[in-house]
Amino acid sequence: MLRDVTATRYIEPLHTGGSVPGVVEADDLGTYVVKFTASAQGRKALVAEIVVGELARHLGLRFPELVLVHFDPAVARDEPHQEVQDLLRASAGLNLGMDLLPGAKDFTPDAIDVDPLEAGKVVWLDALTANVDRTVHSSNLMIWPTFGTRPPKLWLIDHGAALVFHHRWGASAPDKAYDFRHHALGGYGPDMAAADAELAPLVTESVLRDIVGLVPDAWLADEPGFASPDEVREAYVGHLLARARSSAAWLPTGFPTRGELAAADARRAAATQAGRPAWLKRVPDLHGKPAAEQDWTRHVG
């Protein structure tokens, strides 16, 4: 079961993410990044966070603890932004929190060594769950710890855009292949065969039932075409189980090397500069560069 906590202090909103999550302190003395039920992405983004995140944990990948956060908008009465206040008032009740990793930094290429098997496992999870939102331009990966004597490790965050099939049930075949050539870890030579051999047997019916059982009924209620939250849970189990069993059909391949990616970025930057007026060519193109190392909370969306 996910732990229940109660928000006691609202610290700040995170405006870089489309869902405008917020950093809160809770009655267990923990600090969490909270995604709210009334955000633009809706409750299905929270369902995806639980299902994919807990599946990642089961597969041995690093993922911060998730908690169910009871939120009273009164704790954020001093928030000055009206749009944020509207979001918080509409999200009274149960929301989803992710443990804040203090001092964590954005993953950037060459920041740490990622062996081909670990890279393959992350890509395999993303392919299984149709998470196309972990790219070279937006990795949704963090490096932590970044201080002390322990070596930094790779951590996964932000899976709200995964499970695209649950937005149109039945429209996506379980063996559908997605384009992962620009995956954030594609340049590390992901060993997809080894990852598939290790992970596919771990995705069992009982494991999937346990994971979808963590999702609150309220976030699965009123789903068109389903009579109850349990029917929705069975649909998740059925689709993901069938997908795991058909991995040979969707296993990603053909990743560009880091050198090829760098060359493509250089060509794109050159084309951008060529199309600028003379006075603007002195302005650097910042959009194609890796994000500077920042506190990870600025990029959870």
- C-alpha span between 136 and 21 (Å, rounded): 23
Residue 280 main-chain phi, psi, to 5 deg: -85, -15
3-state secondary structure the chain: CCEEEEEEEEEEECCCCCCCCEEEEECCCCEEEEECCCCCCCHHHHHHHHHHHHHHHHCCCCCCCEEEEEECHHHHCCCCCHHHHHHHHHCCEEEEEEECCCCCEECCCCCCCCCHHHHHHHHHHHHHCCCCCCECCCCCEEEECCCCCCCCEEEECCCCCCCHHHHCCCCCCCCCCCCCCCECCHHHCCCHHHHHHHHHHHCCHHHHHHHHCCCCHHHCCCCCCCCCHHHHHHHHHHHHHHHHHCHHHHCCCCCCCHHHHHHHHHHHHHHHHHCCCHHHHHCCCCCCCCCCCCEHHHHCC
Tell me the average confidence (pLDDT) per consecutive run of 10 residues in the chain, 301 residues long.
97 84 98 96 96 98 98 96 96 98 91 95 98 93 90 96 96 96 94 98 98 98 96 98 98 86 77 69 51 42 48
- C-alpha span between 164 and 37 (Å, rounded): 18
In 3D space, the residue among 175, 186, 196, 185 whose CA is nearest the CA of residue 250 turns out to be 175
pTM of the complete model: 0.88
- C-alpha span between 32 and 297 (Å, rounded): 10
Residue 168 has a pLDDT of 95
Tens digit of pLDDT for each residue in 28-42? 999 999 999 999 989
Q: Which two tokens stand for residue 214?
A: 């963590």
Domain ranges of the chain: 3-101, 105-250
